[in-house]
């Protein structure tokens, strides 16, 4: 994965463990969703009651290892793609100080007008928080016309 924009702590809880003795898969989704929204609020100035809000249009997670309470974990936040109205987040669940993810995830947030629920451009403050990750992908150079 590309460099993380941030790593947010994720404290496991007693009730996160399932009957198999590890953190249940649903907890990873909640941790990633919370980390991304906390990042957008803290770093990008997102106002959940503002005119533009971010709705999750898709999400996925792949599991590589297990964790159990009381392990502290972190969510690594990166950007796979930033379009005009949506961000595809590249996410990792990690142990503190370790770069090998125990889970990798992907969330797609579409920015919409809070009143109409129609897509709207990513707010400038959030795009700024993404830094160079928000830059459009480079297009290949045009080939010269052949005679």
Question: What's 122's domain CATH number?
Answer: 3.10.129.10
pLDDT digit string, tens, across residues 66-87: 999 999 999 999 999 999 999 9
The answer to whether 89 touches 111, Cβ cutoff 8 Å, is no
Instruction: Give the separation between CA 75 and CA 129, rounded to whole angstroms.
Output: 17
pLDDT in tens, 86-129: 999 999 999 999 999 999 999 999 999 999 999 999 999 999 99
**105 with 114: CB under 8 angstroms?**
no
129 Cα distance to chain centroid: 13
Say if 140 falls within a structural domain: no
Backbone region of residue 134 per phi and psi (left: phi > 0; alpha: psi in -120 to 50; beta: other values): alpha
Structural domain range at position 26: 6-134
Greater confidence (16 vs 133) lies with 16
Query: What local confidence, expressed as pLDDT, does residue 140 receive?
Result: 43
> Could you tell me the pLDDT band of residue 39, with boundaries at 50, 70 and 90?
very high
Beta-carbon count within 10 A of 145 CB: 5
- 94 neighbors 76 (Cβ within 8 angstroms): yes
| pTM of the model as a whole | 0.85
**Number of domains making up the chain:** 1
In this predicted structure, what is the pLDDT of residue 145?
54
């Amino acid at each position: 994965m590309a460099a993380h924009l941030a790593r947010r702590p994720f404290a496991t809880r007693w009730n996160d463990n399932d009957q198999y003795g590890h953190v249940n898969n649903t907890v990873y989704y909640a941790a990633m969703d919370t980390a991304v929204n906390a990042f957008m609020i803290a770093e990008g100035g997102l106002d959940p009651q503002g005119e533009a809000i971010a709705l999750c249009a898709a999400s996925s997670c792949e599991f590589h290892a297990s964790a159990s309470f009381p392990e502290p974990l972190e969510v690594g936040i990166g950007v796979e793609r930033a379009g005009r109205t949506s961000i595809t987040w590249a996410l990792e669940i990690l142990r503190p100080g370790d770069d090998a993810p125990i889970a990798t995830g992907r969330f797609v947030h579409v920015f919409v007008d809070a009143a109409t629920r129609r897509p709207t451009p990513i707010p400038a403050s959030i795009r700024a928080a993404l830094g160079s990750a928000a830059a459009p992908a480079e297009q290949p150079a045009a080939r010269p016309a052949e005679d």
